[in-house]
Amino acid sequence: MKIVRTCSELRALTSAWRQDGLRIGFVPTMGALHAGHLSLIDISRQQAARTIASLFVNPAQFAPNEDFAAYPRDESRDMAMFAQAGVDLVYAPPVEQIYPQGHAASITIGGISEILEGEIRPQFFSGVASIVTILFNQVQPDLAVFGEKDYQQLCVIRKLVRDLHMPIEIIGGETIRETCGLAMSSRNKYLTDCERRQAPALYRTLCEIARGVRTGENPDQLCELAANTLSETGFGKLDYVTVRDAVTLRPHAEPGRPARVLAATWLGKARLIDNVAV
């Protein structure tokens, strides 16, 4: 496995692969790898002849009051996991390779990035859309894989690629869960042992809403009940629990269109987000 830190080294290697007609898959990460990331790498390896992963904790997607400084970082562990998973090349740039001095460009996607997570974390999706665009321009992959765990992020990236005519196939990888149902996330490290035992209630509650919607119950009432259940189970502030159109993330109105149940809530120091298909 090659590890490169500069865009010029990256381009030298990838242009040789491209000249050989090899399809390039890309898995962007912020490190703190877990089985969820490994499953995205697996998808890329099945679909592409070469897989590139990036390792970059992107300051632009954290608000000043968020956990940029505390975000878990362990590069040697991550590199060992990338190698074990069969990644061909890791791009782990220092911040100047991404945001050189004087950098002032940013990408804003209207609509879909202004609701749900976008209301609670106003700079998040512009930070994500900007870093993903920069990485796509540097890596120039044929396909890129993102987890459904961050479902709205996946929808925003699909819209980014469509609206900016980027010739990149976006593949969603299904959420990987602990046996208790808790969605794997780098931020689960913030949970205490006691909170880890409470946390699976989030997934159970989302599954109950999805079951109710499938059998024709009222989504708003189901979400209201779910909010009470979560609060009784010991969860803190609930940012949202809602049933949305699976593509536009607008309130789910048209019967027959695919729907998704999404929630974000606090448990101790961890902000948990999760979603399930209806």
Note the residues at the interface with ligand PAF (CB under 6 A).
Answer: 28-30, 58, 61, 128, 131-132, 150, 153
In angstroms, the CA 159 to CA 94 distance is 28
Q: Is 37 assigned a catalytic role? A: yes
d(CA 221, CA 214): 14
Shortest gap between Cβ of 101 and ligand PAF (angstroms)? 21
AA letter at 192:
T
> How many other C-beta atoms lie within 10 A of the C-beta of residue 8?
9
Smallest gap from residue 135 Cβ to ligand PAF (A):
8
Of 60 and 213, CB closest to ligand PAF: 60
Catalytic residue selected from 34, 37, 103, 165: 37
The residue among 72 and 200 lying less far from ligand PAF, judged by its C-beta, is: 72
Helices marked H in 60-176 — which ranges? 75-85, 95-98, 117-120, 124-139, 151-163
Residue with tokens 């956990």: 67
Closer Cβ to ligand PAF, 60 or 199, answer by number: 60
* Shortest spacing between CB 191 and ligand PAF, in angstroms: 18
- For ligand PAF, give the closer residue by CB, 132 or 273: 132
The dihedral over CA atoms of 229, 234, 240, 241, expressed in degrees to the nearest 10, equals: -30
C-beta of 256: minimal distance to ligand PAF in Å? 31
Q: Which residues are catalytic?
A: 37
